[in-house]
A and B are shown apart, each in its own frame.
Chain A
Amino acid sequence: MEQVRKYSEEELVLLLQQKDQAAFSYLYDNYAAALNGVIFRLTEDYSLAEDILQEAFVKIWNNFASYDKTKGRLFTWMLNLTKNLTIDTLRSKGYKKQAKISGDENIVSNVQDSTTGVDKFDTVGLRKQLSGLKPEQRTIIEMAYFAGYTQDEISKTLDIPLGTVKTRMRTAILELRKHLQYT
C-alpha cells in the first residue's frame, strides 16, 4: 500500500476528537472513495451513494467521540457505520437485501473507478494483488464485511452450515492477507 500518509492513525484520531477540520479533510480525502465504493456496490446508484456518503461523514464527524480505538481500527469503525447507514437507508426506501454480490471474480474491475483527481492509493496494484482471491472467498468477504449479511444469512445464501461460516471467513481473510503480502 502506497498511501501518502500525513498523519498516523493515532494522530488522526486525536485531532478528530478535538474536532480538527484539517484532519477531517485528510480523513475524507483518504477514505471517501473506498467508503463510497462500499456504498455504491450496495446501492448501485451513484447519486444515492453520494447522499449516503455525505450522511456517513457528517455522522463520523458528529459521533467521533463514540469511536473507541481499543475496540478496533478507525477504518473498521467507519466501514461498519457506513455499511449500517446504507443498509438502513435501503431498507427505509423499500430495497431488499439482494445478492448484489456476484461471485464474479471481475467484480473488482467491474466497478468503474471514477477517480477525477490524484489517485492517492495504488488501487491498481491492490487489485492485482486481490485478483488471486478465489471467487467464493471474495464473495464471503463482500457479504460479511461490506453487505451487512448476518452469519445466518451467509449460511443460507451460500448453503453452508452455520458453524462453517466462521471458518470460511477465516480462510478467506487469511488468503486475502497472503495476497497482500506476497504479490
Chain B
Amino acid sequence: MDAKDIISSGLLELYAAGLTSAEESLQVQQYVQLYPEVAAELAAIEAGVEAFATAMPVTPAPEVKEKIFARINETAKPVPITAGNDIAPVVTISSRWKSAAAAAILLLVGSAAVNIYLYNRNNNMQAQLQQVQNTVASLQEKNKEMDTYLEAVRNRYSTPVSLSGLSPEAADATAKVYWIKNTGDVYVDASSLPAAPAGKQYELWAIVDGKPVNAGIIVQTPSGKTYQIQKMKAFGNAQAFAISLEKESATPADTPTEVYALGKM
C-alpha cells in the first residue's frame, strides 16, 4: 500500500475514531511514521473532528473546574471512581518508561554478556598465568642445573675425565666426570648414558690407591634434559673413575659388581 491508497482507504478516519483493531492501529502508526502525507492527512482528519466538537460546546458550571482541581490536589488519596463501579482501573505505562525498561533490559543483558566474557577471560588468563609460572619454574630449574654444570666445567681447577663403555654393547656410552682439584668436588654428567636396565642403577666409583670407593648413586632424570649434572662425593685424590651397574637400591653398594664404564685421570 502506498500513501495514496492508505489515505483514500478510509482507514485513517476509522483510526481517528478509535474504531480500528489493535493490529490496524499499529499499522496506521507505522504508516504515519513512514509517510509524511499520511501523517498530514491524519492530522487534518483529527482537526476536522475537533472543529466539529468545538462547534457544539456545552459550557459546564464553574464549580466543575474547582472540583477537578480540588481532586487533583488531593495527591495522597487514591482517585475514587464514582462514575461506574465496573470501570476497570486503567494502568498505563508511558512510552518513555517502556523505552526506559527496554533500555534497562538491554543494559542488563549486555552487562551479563560482558560479565561472562570477563569471567571466561579471567579464567583464560589464570590458566595462562599458571602456564607461565610452570615455564618459569622449569627454566629456573634448568638454569640451576646449568649453573652447576658451568661451575664444574669452567672452574679453573676442574679436571675432566671421560668415561667410556667397556663392553661392546656399551661402546657408545659415555659419561664425563669433572674433578675439582683444589676442593676435591666431583661432578658427573651422565646425559650420554643410556637408561639403566630395569631394576638396575648406575653408581660412580673413584679408584683411590687401586681400590674402588663408592662416590654415590647416579640419579638418572627423564631424558630431554640438556644438563644432567650431579654433584657426587668429594675425593682428595683419585686415579680413575668408574661407573658400575648395581641392583636398584637406596644405599650404594660396597663393591662394584659390573663395571660399565671407566676413565683414567
| A interface list, Cβ under 8 A from B | 1, 21, 24-25, 28, 32-41, 46, 49-55, 57-59, 61-63, 65-66, 68, 70-73, 75-76, 79-80, 83-85, 88-89, 91-93, 107-108, 111-117, 121, 123, 126-127, 129-130, 141, 144-146, 150-151, 165-167, 169-170, 173, 176-177, 180
Chain A residues, Cβ within 8 Å of B83: 51-52, 55, 85, 88-89, 92
Q: Which residue of the partner chain A has the closest CB to B20?
A: A151
Segment at the interface with A among B56-64, B101-109, B140-148, B199-207:
B56-64
B96 sits at the interface (CB 8 A): yes
Q: Which residue of the partner chain A has the closest CB to B68?
A: A57
Given the contacts A114-B58, A170-B8, A62 and B79 also touching, CB distance less than 8 Å: yes
The reply to whether B19 and A151 form a contact with Cβ atoms under 8 Å apart is yes
B1 sits at the interface (CB 8 A): no
The reply to whether A126 and B14 form a contact with Cβ atoms under 8 Å apart is no
The reply to whether B59 and A113 form a contact with Cβ atoms under 8 Å apart is yes
The reply to whether A73 and B14 form a contact with Cβ atoms under 8 Å apart is no
The reply to whether A145 and B17 form a contact with Cβ atoms under 8 Å apart is yes
Chain B residues, Cβ within 8 Å of A66: 90, 92-94
Given the contacts A63-B92, A70-B32, A35 and B10 also touching, CB distance less than 8 Å: no
Chain A residues, Cβ within 8 Å of B48: 173, 176-177, 180
Q: How many residues of B contact A (CB 8 A)?
A: 58
The reply to whether A33 and B57 form a contact with Cβ atoms under 8 Å apart is yes
B4 sits at the interface (CB 8 A): no
> What CA separation (Å) do A37 and B61 show in the bound complex?
13
Chain B residues, Cβ within 8 Å of A40: 58
Given the contacts A51-B82, A71-B29, A166-B11, A130 and B55 also touching, CB distance less than 8 Å: yes
> What CA separation (Å) do A127 and B8 show in the bound complex?
27
Q: Which of A53, A79, A111, A129 is the one whose CB lies under 8 Å from B49?
A: A79
Segment at the interface with A among B39-47, B114-122, B127-135, B174-182:
B39-47
Q: A79-B50, A107-B56 are in contact. List 12 more A-B contacts (CB 8 A).
A: A1-B51, A32-B60, A36-B60, A61-B68, A62-B79, A76-B16, A83-B18, A88-B86, A92-B85, A108-B55, A127-B56, A146-B53
